[in-house]
A = this chain, B = another copy of it.
Amino acid sequence: MGSRRTDMTSFIYEQLAQRFSEQIHTGLWRPQQRLPSIRQLSEEFGVAKITVQHALHKLEASGLVEARPRSGYFVCQRSVPAVPSSKRLLNTQPSLVNMPLIFQDIMARSAAFDLCPGAPVNEPASHLLQLNRHIGRAMRQQLHHKALYYTGPQGNPALREQIALLYQGRNCPLDAEALCITAGCQNSLFLALMSCCEPGDTVAVESPAFYGVLQLLQQLRLKVVEIPVSPTLGLKAADLEAVVRKWPVKACVITASFATPTGASIPGEEKRQLVALAEQYGLTLIEDDIYGDLGFHFRPEPLKAFDKNGNVILCSSISKSLSRDLRLGWIAGGRHHDKIVHLKLINQLASGQAMQEGLASFMAEGHYKRHLLQYRQQLKRQRDDLLKALNALWQFPFRYTVPEGGIALWLELQKQQDTARYYQPLLMENIVITPGALFSTQGHFNNYLRLSFAHPATGPRRQALARLAGVFAGRG
């Protein structure tokens, strides 16, 4: 039914759920607190009672609130990992990145987001069959044209048009001409950083940060400054401003929606302030939006939606939401667009035509949106199952985030647990973990772990979780 609601209604109800969620995450509504009644909320927010009810159902489904018989809704007790000290990090001088070699090895292996990469995967594949059909059709058309000519570096116009439509549905008016097709989101991030930074420049990142970005900074010889973020609400504009006033920051990499590893999403008003800061300080925001389409309850606006002057470079792909095999992503470069298109050209000349055309017609026929509706529900179920399994199997103290989208959550173990230490021994048992140390250049998060719910926590994957319980309880 949710899919048939008009965009406008769905927008109000999603906005409301997001507002409620922000009240909880910011502490305005505290754990165990009773919420105002539906009538009161309806009056306070100026919406119909049915809309409030819908929003509360969504929050309940995501474990943020619980309904108690005859007593109304209460904020759930949540258990959230700690944040590194802002003060300490903000005073650390920007420095070149030097990740240990083992982390390069881990990145090459663990990008699969699967504890047991060898274990079977049994999920509906109709969307993949459909996608193959579209690519196959595109491959059969104009054989010579595809074999003998490159497309322009900006990529297939029909595909850019479909991607622009996606963003318009997220309240972000993007034009097809503003987009450039890339070889995936990591390739987009690479082009983004190359377009606005020179070796030796300083780049701010969220802490914890996506390891792919940290290793990019190292290879491009950029200096990093890490800004501690909330594991639920992400980067705060005030913290970015403090850093920008202190250090000559050229760009800041931000994942505003369902960031890896925490799953945090930045509230709307904070996003507006971040973009205003970019304008004020002549800063480029590089937005990693790869999880933006994987919100369980709503599709948050990207930072780019607030960008009037081209200071935000939006990077994304379909690798996490549809298929990692197409090697297609995109970038909306704002004022860096022309430079990015040229960098794309000299980096790889062009993207494959058949893949682009196939994806464009797949999207144009609505298959991508239909797949997302199903996939978001599947991911949400898998998140819940993972949390159930963890709470059942792990008999020692740990804290975790409960992301409302994306494919992974963030776990904090006890101080003495250095998760990276277990990486190699577990690899010998065909268990691949993603240790917290990967997500910082400063040795924070050594006792953290990212766990993905891209696969159901059953069978061999549940056994792997049980094995981890043994390891982390010191019986490994």
Contact = CB atoms under 8 A, between A and B. Distances in A.
A324 B148 contact: yes
Nearest to A117: B149
A423 to B, nearest CB: 17
B108 A347 contact: no
A348 B219 contact: no
A266 to B, nearest CB: 25
A148 B343 contact: no
B186 A347 contact: yes
Contact of A346 (B122, B183, B190, B353): B190
15 contacts: A114-B148, A117-B149, A121-B148, A128-B144, A132-B136, A132-B140, A135-B139, A136-B136, A147-B322, A148-B324, A148-B455, A183-B183, A186-B346, A324-B350, A327-B350
A315 B73 CA distance: 64
Interface in A354-382: 354-355
Contacts of A108: 152-153, 342, 345
A82 interface: no
Given A125-B143, A184-B349, A325-B354, 5 more contacts: A113-B148, A148-B324, A194-B219, A199-B199, A327-B352
Interface string A199-215: 10000000000001001
A149 B107 contact: no
Interface string A85-112: 0000000000000000000100111011
**Which of A109, A117, A355 has the most CB atoms of chain B within a 10 A radius of its CB?**
A355
A340 to B, nearest CB: 11
Contacts of A349: 111, 184, 186-187, 212, 319
A76 interface: no
Contact of A112 (B107, B129, B150): B150
A146 interface: yes
A131 to B, nearest CB: 8
B325 A146 contact: yes
A153 to B, nearest CB: 6
B150 A348 contact: no
A323 interface: yes
A325 B352 contact: yes
Given A147-B322, A147-B324, A215 B346 contact: yes
Give how many copies assemble into the complex.
2
Q: Which 8 A-B pairs have the closest CB atoms?
A: A146-B325, A121-B144, A147-B323, A128-B143, A183-B348, A187-B348, A327-B352, A186-B349
Interface residues of A, number: 65
Contacts of A7: none
A108 B107 CA distance: 33
Nearest to A109: B152
B324 A146 contact: yes
A454 interface: yes
Interface string A115-158: 00100011101001100100110011001111111101100000
Contacts of A466: none
A246 to B, nearest CB: 26
A348 B114 contact: no
Contacts of A187: 347-349
A336 to B, nearest CB: 13
B326 A148 contact: no
A215 B139 CA distance: 31
Interface centre among A135, A136, A184, A347 (most CB of B within 10 A): A347
A165 interface: no
Contact of A348 (B109, B327, B455): B327
A221 B216 CA distance: 18
Interface string A449-475: 000001100000000000000000000
A351 interface: yes
Contacts of A123: 144
Contacts of A149: 112, 114, 117, 324
A121 B149 CA distance: 11
A135 to B, nearest CB: 7
Given A136-B139, A325-B352, A354-B325, A107 B144 contact: no
Interface centre among A125, A147, A186, A199 (most CB of B within 10 A): A147
